[in-house]
Amino acid sequence: MPIAGLVALLSIEQTSLATDHFLTIGGGYSPTGNQISLEKNVQLFQRMLGEIYPSEVAHDVYFSDGDDPGRDLQYQDSSVEIPRAQLLLARIFGQTRYLDLQYRSHEITGVRGGTNKDNIEKWFSDVGAKLTAGDRLFIYVTAHGGRASDKKTPHNTGLFLWNSERCQMHEFAKFLDRVPNDVPVVTVMVQCFAGGFANMVFNEGDAKKGFTVAPRCGFFATVHDRVAAGCTPDINEEDYHEYSSYFWAAIRGRTRTDKPIELPDYDKDGAVSLAEAHAYVLLASPTIDVPTKTSDAFLRQYSKLPPEPPSATSPNKNKNDKPQAGDAASSAQDDVKDNTDEQPGEESPATDEPPAAELLSADSDYTLLLKHATSADLAVLEGLSAQLELSGGQRAQTARDLAKQTRDEKKKLDAQHRKQSSESKKIGGEISKSVKIRWPEFANRWHPRVNEFLEKDGEELVKRIESHPKYARFEKLRTQIQQLSEQRFDLDRRWVKYERFLRSLEYVALAANLSEVGSPEIQERYRQLVETESCTLNEVPAIPAVSTTSDGE
């Protein structure tokens, strides 16, 4: 047989043997934290895989309580009307949370089990460990997450599993270690604080222990110290704007409600890679997310920026000006108290030797930075420049100044919000006091006669509350507080756009600088990582060469 024919035969054989495997980890930590959007994310992913892969795909799903018939899912039903008396009582007593929400059992088909650590660890032992060369593993996580429990290891963030169990990034990295080193692993994680898991590219998830030789990469909704958008009980999918809605839209070429979008094929090679999908999120998503990926974490560790002048501040923040999470984000399990993000390049560089050439930074001339940008980077930088109306060669400083202006505006609104919330709470207390004078049983919502009074005296309750001399002010404050919340959220989303732009500039600079400060081995590992991030679904991958050493500097 001619050599060309033999090569073709071997290629066909490899294609037939190679398999893409998918693992989905989804759901909340309890019924009250298991919003319907998480269910719909999994269903969208299942539907997309059915569209992309002509035959049945190997896809294992773990979701909330598994196949338990109990009501584990939270959703909002607009057809359910809350009696006026109960609604007003909830408002004046400050107990409106969960008031309009309903619960049912999830409707995801083909669930392998509940989302707990034992099940996930067992999957990696029983399935992940048995994957072979030519296979690829894709992991999609749509759940909740929390900050690192130890401030000394801020990137060791947590993934919340069912029944409030927690899986730390370091633990997850050990699960990944069970997958053979010749099997590429790709993760898409959209939980709060997901960016900590970008450290999976390091041994044991620890940047100080060198990079792992395993070909793994990941894309994350937000950095390690910010909450993420999403997780809503709203049943209307047109209102979903979390990370994976845009990420999968880029892959599918249409939104989750099947409205077509222009394919973000930025390099014009006829396919949308996962890296291009991530870039599309940076450009198109209108949320509070600051998305990141594994190559960003790699650059933070192994590349470096030029020293800042003594009077300068970091390109991405002012020294005493810390970002605040938006209102939508503050409802997450782990409320953000300090959203100062990690700065690319701030960790120990791979070498202390002086650079051979001048290093770039976000403040380098914009045109010069574009020369070092990939096609995806270029699309993000030019697209965000247009959205933010940035121009000229010193766009980083302009963006930084506008970001500070945006944050200053938000601080003023924050102060107004606190003041009006305090007044509203005080008035609510006065109105509730008048209710308890007439119905002292309402001092405890669980008093056995409360339901009796709600049914018998509902109209009188409404009249007593609405006739209170301060009720009109109470309602006006409620409307103003809601408007302020929306304005604060809009400002936070705008600040995030500046942050995405600044970070994108900085990562372009770090990537360019790596050739000056990184060893040949580090540069080669970065090239492999970028190549892994640039894969597409349903392709036959080239098996990357597996190094037997890693740089532990």
Percent of the chain with pLDDT over 90: 83
- Can you tell me the mean pLDDT for 71-76? 98
pLDDT at 330 over 70: no
Contacts of 253 (CB under 8 A, 6+ apart): 260, 261, 263, 272
- In this prediction, residue 393 carries a pLDDT of 96
Amino acid at 304: K
pLDDT at 207 over 60: yes
pLDDT at 332 over 50: no
Q: Quickly state the pLDDT bin for 537 (edges 50, 70, 90).
A: very high
- Can you tell me the mean pLDDT for 317-334? 36
CB of 39 within 8 A of CB of 24? no
- Can you tell me the mean pLDDT for 249-255? 97
- In this prediction, residue 309 carries a pLDDT of 67
pLDDT at 349 over 50: no
Percent of the chain with pLDDT over 70: 85
pLDDT at 416 over 80: yes
Residues 299 and 89: their CA atoms lie apart, in Å, by 54
- In this prediction, residue 204 carries a pLDDT of 96
Residue 345: CB atoms within 10 A of its CB come to 24
- Can you tell me the mean pLDDT for 349-374? 81
Contacts of 389 (CB under 8 A, 6+ apart): none
Q: Quickly state the pLDDT bin for 327 (edges 50, 70, 90).
A: very low
pLDDT at 322 over 70: no
- Consecutive H or E run containing 46: helix 36-52
Residues 418 and 422: their CA atoms lie apart, in Å, by 6
Residues 437 and 67: their CA atoms lie apart, in Å, by 48
- Can you tell me the mean pLDDT for 408-431? 98
- In this prediction, residue 401 carries a pLDDT of 98
- In this prediction, residue 11 carries a pLDDT of 33
pLDDT at 553 over 60: no
- In this prediction, residue 341 carries a pLDDT of 36
CB of 234 within 8 A of CB of 206? no
Q: Report which DSSP code applies to 544.
A: P
Q: What is the mean pLDDT of the chain?
A: 89
- Consecutive H or E run containing 451: helix 450-456
- In this prediction, residue 226 carries a pLDDT of 97
The structural domains of the chain, ordered by start, are 19-77+100-303+518-533 (3.40.50.1460)
- Can you tell me the mean pLDDT for 321-338? 35
CA-based nearest residue to 136, from 548, 546, 542: 542
Contacts of 442 (CB under 8 A, 6+ apart): 89, 432, 435, 436, 450, 453
Q: Quickly state the pLDDT bin for 298 (edges 50, 70, 90).
A: very high
pLDDT at 344 over 90: no
- In this prediction, residue 230 carries a pLDDT of 85
- Can you tell me the mean pLDDT for 57-63? 97
User: Own/partner pairs for 409-418, CB < 8 Å, 24+ apart?
Assistant: 409/491, 410/324, 410/488, 410/491, 410/492, 410/495, 413/484, 413/487, 413/488, 413/491, 414/324, 414/488, 416/484, 417/481, 417/484, 417/485, 417/488
- In this prediction, residue 310 carries a pLDDT of 57
Residues 427 and 421: their CA atoms lie apart, in Å, by 10
- In this prediction, residue 241 carries a pLDDT of 95
User: Where do we find the tokens 């909330």?
Assistant: 64
Could you read off the pLDDT of 44-54 as tens digits, one per residue?
Answer: 999 999 999 98
Could you read off the pLDDT of 2-13 as tens digits, one per residue?
Answer: 333 323 322 333
- In this prediction, residue 331 carries a pLDDT of 33
Amino acid at 110: G
pLDDT at 446 over 60: yes
CA distances from 396 to 490, 502, 548 (A): 22, 6, 40
pLDDT at 334 over 50: no
Could you read off the pLDDT of 224-249 as tens digits, one per residue?
Answer: 999 999 899 999 999 999 999 999 99
Q: What pairs with residue 278 in β-bridges?
A: none
- Can you tell me the mean pLDDT for 547-552? 44
